[in-house]
Structure 1
Amino acid sequence: MDFENQIIPASVAGGVGATLTSAGRTIHQGAELGGRADYRNILGSRHSLWIRSAYTWLPVAEFASRRFSSISGFGAVSVTGNRLPYAPRHLVNASLGYVHATGLNAMVEGVHTAGQYADDLNSINPSPDGQRGRIPGNFIWNATVNYPIEAWRTTVFVSAKNIGDRLYIVDRARGLLPGMPRLIQVGLRFSF
């Protein structure tokens, strides 16, 4: 993708606040690949074992036009050619699932987000206020189990996200914003 005038939040460009700013001309080059394989036919049964994965590779995500930093005190620093903030080089999602003949199904999922910059200067070291610096990559596990009760047109489910309760950074625009802590949901889904 080649944007002539990409509009991004000023906080993402290194500024403070919720205003919008022009990133100017930006270039995004990479590839996405995804797939799913279901082994129901190979197993020769009503049970199903499947795998699914998606991968995004973004080697190029940069300011392409003449641009100077929007961070106060760094206005004379050129950021042309710097990597765009919040544009990780790699995103990976991989899932393994099982569906029993009764309809009971379970899935476990791993999600990886590579490290990324939080400002247009591509700062590595964090600033004292936490608004600048590299955001380290992270990996989390999620899982879900569903059990349909056909007679009631209902599905009972249990879902867990960030099973390992890993502490990781997702945003620095307003300081250090952590990712979602472990979340476990139990519920019912009704069909009408």
Structure 2
Amino acid sequence: SRADYETDPTINYTPISYRDVTAVRLSTSYEKEAGNSLTTITPYLRHNTMEMLPNWSLSYDPTIYETFNDSLGMLIKHRMGSNNGSKLIVGADIDYSPGGRDEVEIDAPKVNGIYTSYTELGTLYDYDVTFSSLSPYVHGEMALGSHARLSAGLRYDMMRYDYDTALAPQEIIDPNHKIPEDTVIRYRHASPKLGIVYNFSKKQEAFFSYRHGFRAPSEGKLFRQGSSFNTVDLEPVKLNSVEIGWRWRPADKTVTELSIYSMKKTDDILTFQNPVTNQREVVNAGETSHQGVELLLGLPVAGKVHFDAAWSYALHTYEDWVARSGGTNYDYSGNRMAYAPRVLGNTRLRYGDVDKFNAEVEWTHVGPYQTDDANTHKYEGHGLLGMSVNIPLSSYWKIKLRGHNLNERLYAERASYNSFRGEEFSPGMSRTVYLSLSWQWQEEK
């Protein structure tokens, strides 16, 4: 609540929540060079498990779930160059990942507003799902006269989910935890890209890029249906983005970059929360828009003192999103997207060398943003002061001192609002100082 956020931000409503993750990756790489060509083959193995009792869903959908998958894959790339600077790259990404999900319902009573214990109830989801993909691609670069360079590429994704549930598919028994029938889902999509860089001089250049992107729904969005009407028919997210910019390097360690971008997403995958029933449904939004300006600046101040800044101003809006739930249409078209601040910024003043003594003061800014899709509530944003000092004691030993939120600002890592629970905040850390001592067995060269 806002009251606890402002007066007692360290209180923990959900001490029973947890996340236990195991992640192992093994990979190797083979390279073969011949003249102007280079072939690279990188096979890999992955093992991932995660068990979680999420704190954010305890009030409306209390569960414990485990996801698991093992992956076998390979990245193949062949690069061919020429004496005139042109380059052609062909390759393919291959992945085979069998996995699954086990999920149980829990009863978690509150004691004085705090979840202190829980009891496991019945199984909600128990399914296996295998993800496989083959994605060939081609990328080329060539000079256009003496000042311009063209790059273009195309990627073709072929993806497949094989889903098999151990529980009987049902909808009426528990409308909040619907179980889809066994199915196979396939996605195929071509994604082109194009870029041009024009050099006015060795110190100044302009650039343009166009990209078409594609993102398939995740396993959880597709097969952990919940109360959604239909998730196995979710469409993949498609996006088209255009960026134009200018880069200037007038002197050593000095750079200025200004870029303007516009991105449109169609069939964006969003979670709609019914303001009457509090049920959550995963749906495709018609279209979302993302437009902004980004500025990067780096320049020496005096001696070993250097100034860096990165700021952006962006508008994120629902261009076309009408959610239908319980026989009612909820039209959010034209609204600003929740949790998307217009202004983000980072400014740093640093002294010293990277591999020697160095110190840095940093200011991070997060602007205001809407905390609900209806745009009825807003988080005011925040600014944080930080610092870090790195002290090498020898070629092997180092001390690092880091300070966070030195201005002791009350802020939220995330703020949200819904009609059932009101305003909710995940408070950030108060003023905190970290001290670490590190040792490396090999002397830096």
- Within 5 Å, give how 1:20-169 maps onto structure 2: 20-39=282-301, 43=303, 48-58=304-314, 60-68=315-323, 76-99=329-352, 103-123=356-376, 133-151=377-395, 153-169=396-412
Q: In percent, how many aligned pairs have the same letter? A: 26
Counterparts of 1:33 and 1:50 in 2: how far apart (Å)?
A: 17
Counterparts of 1:57 and 1:188 in 2: how far apart (Å)?
A: 38
Report if aligned partners of 2:322, 2:329 keep a CA contact under 8 Å in 1. Answer: no
Q: Which ranges in structure 1 are unaligned for 5 or more consecutive residues?
A: 124-132
Report if aligned partners of 2:385, 2:404 keep a CA contact under 8 Å in 1. Answer: yes
Counterparts of 2:354 and 2:311 in 1: how far apart (Å)?
A: 30
Quote the residue 2:85 is aligned against: none
Q: CA deviation at 1:16?
A: 5.8
Q: Which ranges in structure 2 are unaligned for 5 or more consecutive residues?
A: 1-262, 418-423
Q: Pairwise CA RMSD of aligned residues?
A: 3.0
Deviations 1:26-59 (A, max 9, x none): 00000212122234xx63xxxx10011100110x
Is structure 2 residue 256 aligned with structure 1 residue 4? no
Bigger Rg, structure 1 or 2: 2
Quickly say closer, same or farther: Cα 1:101–1:136, change in 2 above 3 A: closer
Quote the residue 1:187 is aligned against: 436
The code of the aligned residue for 2:365 comes to: H
Quickly say closer, same or farther: Cα 1:171–1:18, change in 2 above 3 A: farther
Quickly say closer, same or farther: Cα 1:185–1:117, change in 2 above 3 A: same
Deviations 1:55-91 (A, max 9, x none): 0110x21111142488x9xx54421010000111111
Counterparts of 1:102 and 1:26 in 2: how far apart (Å)?
A: 44
Report if aligned partners of 2:361, 2:386 keep a CA contact under 8 Å in 1. Answer: yes
Report if aligned partners of 2:285, 2:321 keep a CA contact under 8 Å in 1. Answer: no
Quickly say closer, same or farther: Cα 1:16–1:169, change in 2 above 3 A: farther
Counterparts of 2:286 and 2:402 in 1: how far apart (Å)?
A: 41
Q: CA deviation at 1:100?
A: 6.6
Quickly say closer, same or farther: Cα 1:101–1:169, change in 2 above 3 A: closer
Query: Which 10-residue stretch deviates more, 114-123 or 96-105?
Result: 96-105
Quickly say closer, same or farther: Cα 1:19–1:94, change in 2 above 3 A: farther
Quickly say closer, same or farther: Cα 1:154–1:24, change in 2 above 3 A: farther
Counterparts of 1:17 and 1:155 in 2: how far apart (Å)?
A: 52
Paired residue secondary structure (2:286): coil
Report if aligned partners of 1:6, 1:23 keep a CA contact under 8 Å in 2. Answer: yes
Counterparts of 1:161 and 1:17 in 2: how far apart (Å)?
A: 37
Quickly say closer, same or farther: Cα 1:100–1:170, change in 2 above 3 A: closer
Q: Which structure carries more strand by proportion?
A: 2
The code of the aligned residue for 1:50 comes to: H
Deviations 1:99-124 (A, max 9, x none): 1799221100111111000111111x
Counterparts of 2:320 and 2:437 in 1: how far apart (Å)?
A: 52
Quickly say closer, same or farther: Cα 1:76–1:178, change in 2 above 3 A: same
Quickly say closer, same or farther: Cα 1:37–1:9, change in 2 above 3 A: farther
How many aligned positions are there?
Answer: 171
What is the TM-score of this pair, normalised by structure 2? Answer: 0.35
Paired residue secondary structure (1:4): strand
Quickly say closer, same or farther: Cα 1:190–1:16, change in 2 above 3 A: farther
Which structure's relative contact order is higher, taking Cα pairs within 8 Å and 6+ residues apart?
1
Quickly say closer, same or farther: Cα 1:25–1:147, change in 2 above 3 A: same
Report if aligned partners of 1:68, 1:80 keep a CA contact under 8 Å in 2. Answer: no
Deviations 1:136-180 (A, max 9, x none): 0211101011101233x2220110111122112332348222122
Quickly say closer, same or farther: Cα 1:35–1:82, change in 2 above 3 A: same
